[in-house]
Amino acid sequence: MDWLEIKEFLKDTLKIVIFVVVILFIIQYVFSVTKVVGNSMHPTLKDEELFILSKFNYRFTDVKRGDIISLKYANTKYLIKRVIGLPGENVYIKDSTLFINNEKFEESYISKELEYDDFYLKDLGYDKIPEGMYLVLGDNRVDSLDSREIGLISKKDIIGKIAIRFWPLNRFKFI
């Protein structure tokens, strides 16, 4: 190899390295693909559906009630749940009805026929949700591993917000 060939090789290699670094940065900090496993978010999200998860925006914006998020759970697993309770709020479920700060909260995304157990924030040892913590629930309250069992979640455990359902194609939707 002469010097020009080495220089071209190094240029091409540098382009590939930069491309790989950019892709890894995007996957780590901007967005990634995630999949629903199970029925805990039914009927909103279904088992095996694929989504684009927005990470970058979510690191700098407030978590909002109703956001569907992916969160770290048990080291290597993740869960997809809906944010229900925000810091400073008291949340409870009585007779299959959600109350936030003692006011009934209408949830259009859950099945009205479902009956599920009562839950009180006091069951987790809190009067109100502490700063930086959130209460998350699955839309299928009968079949969901959520804050009622795993406790409140910290903002640092939130991976990102579900942004786009892209599979199956006939259910494509911006969330």
The residues pairing with 133 across neighbouring beta strands, listed in sequence order, are 154
Q: Which residues belong to the active site?
A: 40, 81
Q: What is the sign, positive or negative, of the torsion defined by CA atoms of 140, 163, 128, 112?
A: negative
Which residues are CB-contacts of 13 (< 8 A; sequence separation ≥ 6)?
none
86: tokens are 């925000």
